Homo-oligomer: A and B are copies of this chain.
Amino acid sequence: MHRLTATYLVETPLALDKAAASLAGEQSSGTFVAVPGETDELKARFAARVERITELESTTTPSLPTGRAAAPGTVYRRAEIEVSWSLENFGANLPTLVSTIQGNLYELAQFSGLRLRDLTLPEIYRSAFRGPAHGIAGCRRLTGVQGRPLIGTIIKPSIGLSPAQTADLVRALAEAGIDFIKDDELMADPPHSPFDARVAAIMRVISSQADRTGKKVMYAFNITDELDAMQRHYETVVCAGGTCAMLSLNSVGLVAAKKICDLGTLAIHGHRNGWGMLNRHPLLGMEFPAYQKLWRLAGVDQLHVNGIANKFWEPDDSVVRSIASCLAPEPLRKPVLPVVSSGQWGGQAPETFRRTQTVDLLYMAGGGIMAHPEGPAAGVRSLQRWWEAAVEGLTMAEAAGKYPELAVSVAKFGTSG
């Protein structure tokens, strides 16, 4: 029988096998007293199964409140545990899969820490889920960029520009040779920049440049909204000749995001704002390898992973692991394009390449382009040059020594990195 496996980091004041059994029970047949109808045959067929318990370190302070008074000297044991479910329990129903692997687990008093680390999805899911309609190869085809990262930027300020002002910025960026531009996630369809007017103004610029040069900038229009509006906005982008739409994944939710991805014409740029809530405490929530698998099943083509030396709290090791998980073939044998973002100005390219050995990235820089001392075109060229230097194997210092234009960007942005 096909089974789904989930790996958790747990912390518990109980014996590990007892705690693991309570987790498995809660997430399959579980009830607080025995009831008629719960036969051994049913249990064997539908029960979650504890597959592995690997004991880790212990602590005397619980990481999360348990709501129970602890005896003095209580030890909280940590372990990695693996639990599996028969696919029969939920089938290809993605939100019910999520309820099964997460559900009430995070509320169990038996645990003082619980974190979903990873998932292994049954191979049979390849026939039930299409996954990313475009993925990395498709995004390269749509932008005509091969052999290096796509270079992208964000329209700032996030809020307040009119469609005409935004189109002016897009013109400058397109002429500068940018591959990708996105709306800010705080910007959707406000009165000062109605969605339809913004798409019309921006696509006029992008299409006319594509007609002249053969290069069509990919613009991720933020269609995040209620469902009917998202579908309408998606059509507006398609009709205007656009190639990409952006969703704030956590705000929209899995089911509506999948409905949009299923449309399949546009590449879907997945913004993970809100992710910190799910991930920042080391013994709560979930880790990115599990998270990205769910969104890959939903069909997202591009997914934010933060960046090396980012402006947020996330350590580089975690970013490196996120990039690797996006590029790993499973699930569905379809990788998702990692979107490297947050405080990036180019100087992080050498370390990013050294640690990930890939150019299959969408590399986003904000001020690094628009605030470049010699203008946006120099900013874009500088980012491309940073990536050439990175692939040559140079460090940031070596690259700045070899290429004068990179010395310029280190002088301007180096302290913020």
A residues sitting closer than 8 Å to B (CB atoms) are 27-38, 42-43, 45-46, 64-68, 88-91, 93-96, 98-100, 102-109, 154, 156-161, 165, 169, 185-186, 188-192, 222, 224-230, 248, 250-259, 273-278, 280-282, 284-286, 306, 311-315, 342-343, 366-367, 370-371, 413, 416
Contacts and interface: CB of A to CB of B under 8 A. Distances in A.
B186 A371 contact: no
B67 A161 contact: no
Contacts of A314: 67, 107
Contacts of A274: 98-99, 102-103, 106
B229 A93 contact: yes
Cβ-closest 4 pairs across A and B:
A253-B253, A106-B276, A33-B367, A255-B256
Contact of A160 (B34, B46, B286): B46
Contact of A313 (B29, B33, B108): B108
Contact of A93 (B100, B161, B225): B225
A89 B188 CA distance: 9
A94 B251 CA distance: 8
Contacts of A413: 33
B107 A37 contact: no
Nearest to A258: B226
16 contacts: A29-B156, A29-B157, A30-B156, A35-B371, A37-B165, A38-B157, A65-B315, A88-B191, A90-B186, A90-B190, A93-B188, A96-B188, A99-B185, A99-B273, A99-B274, A227-B259
Nearest to A103: B273
B276 A280 contact: no
Contacts of A27: 186
Nearest to A169: B37
Contacts of A66: 313
A248 B96 contact: yes
A277 B37 contact: no
A31 B156 contact: yes
B253 A186 contact: no
Contact of A30 (B88, B95, B158): B158
A340 to B, nearest CB: 15
A274 B161 CA distance: 38
A107 B272 CA distance: 11
A35 to B, nearest CB: 4
A251 B98 contact: yes
Contact of A65 (B165, B224, B282, B366): B282
Contact of A186 (B100, B280, B282, B343): B100
Contacts of A284: 277, 280-281, 284
A95 B28 contact: no
B255 A252 contact: yes
A42 B159 CA distance: 8
A36 B224 contact: no
A188 B130 CA distance: 22
Nearest to A116: B277
Contacts of A95: 224-226, 248, 251-253
Nearest to A185: B99
Contacts of A278: 277-278
A202 to B, nearest CB: 15
